[in-house]
Structure 1
Amino acid sequence: MLDAADLVVGPRALLGDYAGSARVIESAGPLSAEVIDSLAAASAAVLVVSGDPGFFGDLRVLRERGIPVVVRPGVTDVQRLAALLRRPWDDITVVSAAGRDFRHAVNVCRARKAVAVLTAPGAGPAELARELRGWRRAIAVLEDVGGPAERLSVVDVTEAERRRWREPNLVLCLTSIDAVGTARWIAGGEPVPPADGWALPESAFATRAGVGTPSEVAALVLARLAPRPGTLVWDVCAGSGAVGIEAARLGAAVIAVERDAGLCVRIVANAAAHDVDIRLADGEALTDLPRPDSVFLASSRPDLLRTCAAVGAGRVVVLVPELDRVTETRDTLAGAGYEVDGCHLTTARLTPTADGATSLTPTTATTLVWAAR
């Protein structure tokens, strides 16, 4: 194919000592518009890339331009990295960190147990590790991928941030270097949403008397928070952690903020019971946390409300136990640039009676205020 080409495009590391008669354009990283134009104009062009161009590669952009292609795929770099670590890779979620997607890729690494990150200049292992402070992760880095100095290193977050890494590189972010996901019918990690749904009953979470979110309330809170893969949710005054854990089960990265040590123990136990990984944070350290996409505040304390309104989240949901604080809550959020709405939610559950009939037993009367940018 190279012998028949009048144009060859690819990075120098892959072209090696090619000395054919075709014009050569050295191109590393995403194809520029000029290179794509040259490929489209050539009568016989060869684009040399590492791995499979159909896996987060250049095949998509060539198809979008309508350029006819013949594909000779190689082994993907993710496959190679997993093989070097001697582990299966059907449980690995793969994300791209290029451009504005970096923040979403970071949040997937915060939420999931095994994530391969296709890095980019300015969004490499060190930058990723910096954003993972506070999460316990092992970082496997394959640097100088396909080059003469290719090397695999497995380090913790602190070491990954400190080192300088050769490009191009690839990262595998793991909660444990030895753990492997269970065999499933679907690749890429746990399915979202989970099979048993969401808004689980209160009995699904260990708590103490007077602390907890009724499932009917949790359902509405989750609908307004819109947790999903790639997002970060703060669960402030988390209590048993039920809302944050449910958000994590829906794919979001979660930070549970709670001051009570006894409740923190319950949050850890509940997260483990539901097989999600959430980060615990002290209730007075909100300004030191990474910016969330959504915030749930289970309190109407004015100081906490002002802090949560000012962090720049796209969505904020506040549980307001005190009716005389509803207007203050609404005005604080509106003053921070949000469109504000809310409701008073009253629920009653079906209860069997002694004679075999069914009655309704009131269970919840809750005021929720939510806001969106």
Structure 2
Amino acid sequence: AADHVWRDPNVVIVVGGIGTAPVRTGGWIAGHDPEFPPAVRGWALPSEEYGIDLDEGESTWLRAAQLARLGARTGDLVWDIGSGSGALAAEAGRFGAAVIAVDAEPGACASTAAAARRAGVQLEVVEGRAPHVLENLPEPDVVRIGGGGVDVVVACADRRPARIVTHAATRDEAEAVCTALREGGYVVECVLLQSVEMDTGAWSERERSVVFLVSGSRPDRAP
């Protein structure tokens, strides 16, 4: 540690000692303490748990699918690019992962910080526009892209995280993202997700969401 040139972070905390097995070699420890269960059971929580309105790209069931594909865990560093309300970033932190949430909008950065406080997790919020703001960030293990287009996908693929997860509103956009991931060395999966939230009192449709879920995994990275 003394001989290493630290780019980011510039503070190193060593956790554990003799007889304590590391969580994962070279991993991160942040987010929620896995020794203590969260106050609210479950994940991909509804918007009222965050006290905010979520847009279409942050629907409960889309977040559930994204989190499942990310597989964020203690020891991981997660990039959440285009964090929006911060709901996904906060939930990744509840899994014990370290999270860097990136958004170009000051209001979204403030919302992400508030969502983290409400969820009882710690994360770093970076205000800036991807892909340029990503250049000085530490190397991620998994990445969720909430917005930014193909250029952001290519920039993230160049950093070679184990998994990249994003979504697209149209088939053409999904095809472009899949091509970029495949050319970056990823095995690609694309699923069309449709969810319909029902009012169980009147049994009427309350909200409908249709979106392409795109995920890529690197065969040369450890699971």
Bin the TM-score by the shorter chain.
0.7 to 0.9
Matched, 1:258 2:103: yes
Using the alignment, how far apart are the partners of 2:45 and 2:182 within structure 1? 31
What corresponds to 1:330 in structure 2?
A: 178
Question: How do 1:92-241 and structure 2 match up within 5 A?
Answer: 96=22, 101=25, 103-104=26-27, 107-108=28-29, 110-111=30-31, 189-191=35-37, 196-207=41-52, 210=55, 213-241=58-86
What corresponds to 2:138 in structure 1?
A: 290
Residues 26-63 of structure 1: CA distance to partner in whole angstroms, max 9, x if unpaired? xxxxxxxxxxxxxxxxxxxxxxxxxxxxx843xxxxxx
Shift in Å, 1:194: 6.8
What corresponds to 2:152 in structure 1?
A: 304
Residues 238-267 of structure 1: CA distance to partner in whole angstroms, max 9, x if unpaired? 101111110000111000001100111111
SS of residue paired to 1:246: helix
What corresponds to 1:147 in structure 2?
A: none
Q: Which of the two has higher C-alpha Rg? A: 1
Residues 341-367 of structure 1: CA distance to partner in whole angstroms, max 9, x if unpaired? 0111111122145xxx52344421111
Residues 54-112 of structure 1: CA distance to partner in whole angstroms, max 9, x if unpaired? x843xxxxxxxxxxxxxxxxxxxxxxxxxxxxxxxxxxxx6649xx71x21xx10x435
Q: State how many pairs are aligned.
A: 199
SS of residue paired to 1:251: coil
Residues 162-194 of structure 1: CA distance to partner in whole angstroms, max 9, x if unpaired? xxxxxxxxxxxxxxxxxxxxxxxxxx7323x77
What corresponds to 2:88 in structure 1?
A: 243
Shift in Å, 1:206: 4.2
Aligned CA RMSD, in angstroms, stands at: 2.4
Using the alignment, how far apart are the partners of 1:301 and 1:206 within structure 2? 28
TM-score calculated relative to the size of structure 1 = 0.49
Match of 1:349 among 174, 197, 201: 197
Q: Which runs of 5+ in 1 are unaligned?
A: 1-54, 58-93, 114-187
Residues 258-281 of structure 1: CA distance to partner in whole angstroms, max 9, x if unpaired? 110011111111111111001011
What corresponds to 2:9 in structure 1?
A: none
* Contact 1:194 1:250 survives alignment (8 Å): no
TM-score calculated relative to the size of structure 2 = 0.80
What corresponds to 2:221 in structure 1?
A: none
More relative contact order, 1 or 2 (CA 8 Å, 6+ apart): 2
Q: Which amino acid aligns with 1:190?
A: F
Q: Which runs of 5+ in 2 are unaligned?
A: 1-16, 219-223
Using the alignment, how far apart are the partners of 1:194 and 1:296 within structure 2? 25
Using the alignment, how far apart are the partners of 1:372 and 1:277 within structure 2? 26
